């Protein structure tokens, strides 16, 4: 039983581009009007990797990167990768890298953007059982005015970490554009936060996992293609629940992280 629970813990956070960056916002003008094809890419250095409120790098710094092809301002496909260092625990499959391959459709109508697709989670270097699985997602957003954008993220699967369990993750988000009090027009500042709930059903092996609430809040500054983000994460999971269900109390609790990201597209390079 402990081994099965630990295998589930390997992908318990299942971070991916859909969350760590909430699918990085396309750089302005990244879809060229003539060719209708573009490639976006980015790199992030983070003080630690947190997904769905749970640790994925054992509190250590890590690196993340993605590449995404975009077609006709509608279709896209890409991959996002992150280095892993899971908390020490017996039975973990101990992957060194998380790679999320995804494909979807994204379209904007004035202030409304609809975004949906499917992700395949692949954990490279696993020992023991295979925890790779598919997960569809839907991510709408709406710009209420010049300074406030709200959104939501829904992700669900009926084969969580390849154990047959059902999982759903629903998140609401808000992003506030702060005034630029400097004379540099290339600078931008923001506040953002998410609040959501995660449901994990019984697996085919009979394992039960607790539902929990998760939230984060942060502040950031952007300069051209660079973004500096300071963020706080937490959940309603107790350390006892982490110890009993995920074999390590270190997966939960409040988390503070700093990240520096670079995001651009081929159409932006001159």
Q: Encode pLDDT of 249-270 as tens digits.
A: 777 889 999 999 999 999 888 6
180-207 confidence digits (pLDDT tens): 999 999 999 999 999 999 998 777 777 7
Please state, in angstroms and rounded to a whole number, the distance separating the CA atoms of residues 225 and 263: 5
Q: Which of 13-17, 71-75, 209-213 has the lowest mean pLDDT?
A: 13-17
Predicted local distance difference test score (pLDDT) of residue 80: 97
Which residues lie across from 107 on neighbouring strands?
114
Predicted local distance difference test score (pLDDT) of residue 64: 96
Q: Which of 62-71, 87-96, 158-167 has the lowest mean pLDDT?
A: 87-96
Rounded-to-10 torsion of CA 239, 240, 246, 251 = 10
Close Cβ partners of 247 (under 8 Å, ≥ 6 residues apart) = 2, 5, 6, 9, 89, 90, 91, 92
Residue 34 pLDDT > 80, yes or no? no
> Mind spelling out the 3-state secondary structure of 154-214?
EEEEEEECCCCEEEEEEEEEEEEEECCCCCCCCEEEEEEEEEEEEEECCCCCCCCCCCEEE
Q: What is the arithmetic mean of pLDDT over 65-73?
A: 95
CB pairs under 8 A, 24+ apart, for 27-35? 27/225, 27/263, 27/264, 27/265, 27/268, 29/267, 29/268, 30/70, 30/265, 30/267, 30/268, 31/70, 31/73, 31/267, 32/267
What residue spans define the domains of the chain? 2-268
| pLDDT top residue among 28 and 242 | 242
CA angle 228, 231, 237 (to 5 degrees): 155
Predicted local distance difference test score (pLDDT) of residue 16: 53
Tell me the pLDDT of the chain averaged across its residues.
Answer: 84
Residue 29 pLDDT > 70, yes or no? no
Residue 151 pLDDT > 60, yes or no? yes
pLDDT band, very low/low/confident/very high, at 245 (cuts 50, 70, 90): low
Residue 109 pLDDT > 50, yes or no? yes
Close Cβ partners of 244 (under 8 Å, ≥ 6 residues apart) = none
Q: Which of 1-15, 36-50, 81-95 has the lowest mean pLDDT?
A: 1-15
Q: What is the arithmetic mean of pLDDT over 136-165?
A: 92
Please state, in angstroms and rounded to a whole number, the distance separating the CA atoms of residues 53 and 76: 27
Shortest CA distance to 86 belongs to which of 134, 54, 41? 54
| pLDDT top residue among 113 and 124 | 113
CATH number of 2-268: 2.40.160.40
Please state, in angstroms and rounded to a whole number, the distance separating the CA atoms of residues 259 and 221: 11
């Amino acid at each position: 039983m402990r081994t099965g629970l630990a295998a589930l813990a390997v992908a318990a956070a299942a971070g991916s581009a859909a969350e760590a960056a909430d699918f990085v916002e396309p750089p302005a003008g990244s879809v060229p009007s003539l060719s209708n094809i573009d490639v976006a890419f980015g790199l992030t250095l983070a003080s630690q990797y947190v997904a769905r409120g749970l640790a994925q790098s054992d509190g250590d710094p890590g690196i993340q990167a993605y590449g995404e092809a975009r077609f006709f301002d509608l279709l896209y496909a890409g991959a996002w990768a992150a280095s892993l260092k899971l908390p020490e625990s017996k039975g973990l499959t101990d992957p060194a890298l998380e790679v999320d391959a995804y494909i979807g459709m994204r379209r904007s109508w004035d202030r409304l953007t609809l975004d949906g697709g499917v992700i395949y989670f692949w954990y490279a270097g696993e020992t023991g059982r295979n925890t790779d699985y598919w997960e569809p997602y839907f991510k709408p957003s709406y710009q209420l005015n010049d300074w406030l954008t709200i959104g939501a993220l829904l992700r669900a699967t009926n084969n969580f970490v390849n154990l047959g369990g059902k999982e759903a993750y629903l998140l609401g988000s808000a992003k506030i554009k702060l005034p630029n009090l400097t004379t540099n027009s290339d600078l931008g500042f923001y506040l953002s936060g998410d609040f959501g709930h995660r449901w994990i059903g019984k697996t085919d092996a009979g394992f039960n996992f607790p539902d929990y609430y998760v939230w984060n809040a942060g502040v950031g500054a952007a300069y051209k293609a660079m973004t500096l983000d300071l963020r706080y994460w937490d959940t309603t999971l107790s350390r006892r629940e982490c110890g009993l269900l995920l074999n390590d109390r270190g997966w939960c609790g409040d988390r503070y992280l700093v990240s520096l990201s670079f995001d651009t597209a081929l159409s932006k390079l001159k």
